[in-house]
């Protein structure tokens, strides 16, 4: 199915110094950081009509968009692809000419990080999720300003920033000024899934990096582990993600860990939707007071392998977070959970497709935003 991804217009962000840009959104530039002069990275689209979109089709777990490229020599970031209607698109082949080794370089870096710390796979998928849900997939979560999205309450426990910094540095050493931090993050999430036995998908590329960060939006829109379906479904619907997308993306909790503070209320509530033995065991590592940062595995059976045991646990009322167990609690999503338990291949396919749709959320393209040299700072 052909899907056209429109651009996110931020015309008011094209000019001015970084401090002014951030202050316009109510965010203060960190004066302790050395401000760098803006640099030109061919911010405009040039001769875009020479590269028409020729075809787009669903392939495997993702969507491949095949492009025709001319032989014109290019300097700086690749041009955005323009479809016949003039809408800017993302493309899986975006860097084929300008940085052909980009994906291999990122994969090598992410592979090393996950080999060193298996938990990092879950962290990178979560980092991409938290970035995309706040003003689109634009690497705004990576900016170190004051205040920043990193410091937002609902981003507590998010990690993996240094892994993205390392992957970006590796790409910069091969193709300086070409690949955005937003694209590095999107590719890293896919590669992290593969490293722990999860599905792969074709990542559409061509995102640019934001000039702003929005901690207020992070605290208003990001889901919490204490939420039920009545809150979660509308949050995902706001992002044009379906109930099935929501359940599939929640399946990322088949890997990773959660802090005691995020599930304490559930294990001490004595509710009928939690297995008593499961709750009792969890209390040994999560006391009623203190120990907020104590970690527990989201999937006690196979915590470092991407599989459907997360959903099997829900059938036994052994979901760690309230938002986990809400997926199987006599409500509308029960049937989807059961489908995934019965058909693991369907879960992997749905998860990959949902990750593609999430990765398409409001990308900055064309002359909007910039290609950051460092993911933590504006150019």
Task: Judge if 201 and 294 occupy the same domain.
Answer: no
Q: Is 278 domain-assigned?
A: yes
Q: What is the CATH number of the domain that holds 305?
A: 1.10.420.10
Question: Between residues 2 and 155, which one has the greater pLDDT?
Answer: 155
Assigned domain for 262 exists: yes
The annotation places the binding site for substrate at 223
Active site residues: 130
Q: Is the pLDDT of residue 360 over 70?
A: yes
Which residues span the domain enclosing 275? Answer: 240-357
Tally the domains of the chain. Answer: 2
Residue 4 lies in a domain: no
Residues 304 and 197 occupy one common structural domain = no
Residue 272 has pLDDT above 80, yes or no: yes
Residues 244 and 209 in one domain: no
Q: Is there a single domain that holds both residue 261 and residue 213? A: no
Same domain, 124 and 252: no
CA distance 195 to 356: 18
| 375 located within any domain | no
What confidence category does residue 270 fall into, taking pLDDT thresholds of 50, 70 and 90?
A: confident
* Known binding positions for Ca(2+): 131, 134, 136, 138, 140, 149, 254, 299, 302, 307
Question: Taking the CA of residue 70 as centre, how many other CA atoms within 13 Å lie in the half-sphere pointing to its CB?
Answer: 12
Nearest 5°: phi and psi at 52? Answer: -70, 150
- Cα(128)–Cα(188) distance, rounded to whole angstroms? 8
Residues 196 and 287 in one domain: no
> How far is Cα 129 from Cα 187, in angstroms, rounded to an integer?
12
Res 10 pLDDT > 80: no
Higher pLDDT, 182 or 63: 182
The answer on 324 and 245 residing in a single domain is yes
Which one, of 178, 208, 201, lies nearest residue 249 by Cα?
Answer: 201
- Given this model, what pLDDT does residue 88 score? 59
Chain-centroid distance of CA 180 in Å reads: 14
- Bridge partners of 67, per DSSP, are 53
Judgement on whether residues 137 and 254 belong to the same structural domain of the protein: no
Residue 216 and residue 271 in one domain: no
Which residues are annotated as part of the binding site?
Answer: 131, 134, 136, 138, 140, 149, 223, 253-254, 299, 302, 307
* C-alpha–C-alpha distance, residues 74 and 88, integer Å: 19
Candidate from 14-18, 243-247, 326-330 with smallest mean pLDDT: 14-18
């Amino acid at each position: 199915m052909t899907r056209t991804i429109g651009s996110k217009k931020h015309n008011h962000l094209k000019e001015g110094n970084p401090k002014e840009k951030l202050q316009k959104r109510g965010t203060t530039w960190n004066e302790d950081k050395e401000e760098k002069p803006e640099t030109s990275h061919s911010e405009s689209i040039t001769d875009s009509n020479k590269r028409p979109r020729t075809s787009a089709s669903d392939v495997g777990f993702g969507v491949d968009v095949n492009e025709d490229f001319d032989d014109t020599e290019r300097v700086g970031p690749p041009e955005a692809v323009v479809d016949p209607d003039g809408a800017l698109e993302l493309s899986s082949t975006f860097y084929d000419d300008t940085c052909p080794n980009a994906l291999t370089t990122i994969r090598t870096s992410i592979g090393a990080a996950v080999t060193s710390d298996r938990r990092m796979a879950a962290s990178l998928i979560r980092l991409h999720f938290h970035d995309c849900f706040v003003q689109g997939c634009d690497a705004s979560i990576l900016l170190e300003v004051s205040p920043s999205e990193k410091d937002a309450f609902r981003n507590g426990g998010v990690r993996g920033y240094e892994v993205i910094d390392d992957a970006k540095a590796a790409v910069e050493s091969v193709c300086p000024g070409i690949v955005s931090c937003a694209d590095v993050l999107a590719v890293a999430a896919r590669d992290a899934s593969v490293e722990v036995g999860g599905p792969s998908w074709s990542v559409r590329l061509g995102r640019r990096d934001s000039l702003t960060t929005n901690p207020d939006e992070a605290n208003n829109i990001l889901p919490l582990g204490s939420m039920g379906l009545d809150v979660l479904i509308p949050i995902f619907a706001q992002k044009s993600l379906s109930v099935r997308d929501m359940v599939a993306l929640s399946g990322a909790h088949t890997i990773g860990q959660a802090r005691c503070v995020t599930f304490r209320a559930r294990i001490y509530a004595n509710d009928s939707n939690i297995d008593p033995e499961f709750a009792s065991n969890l209390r040994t590592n999560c006391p009623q007071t203190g120990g907020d940062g104590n970690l527990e595995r989201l999937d006690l059976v196979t915590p470092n392998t991407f599989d459907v045991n997360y959903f099997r646990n829900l059938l036994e009322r052994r979901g760690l977070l309230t938002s986990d167990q809400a997926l199987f609690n006599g409500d509308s999503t029960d049937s989807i959970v059961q489908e995934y338990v019965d058909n693991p291949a369907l879960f992997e396919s749905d998860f990959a497709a949902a990750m593609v749709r999430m990765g398409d959320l409001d990308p900055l393209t064309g002359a909007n935003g910039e290609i950051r040299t460092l993911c933590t700072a504006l150019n």
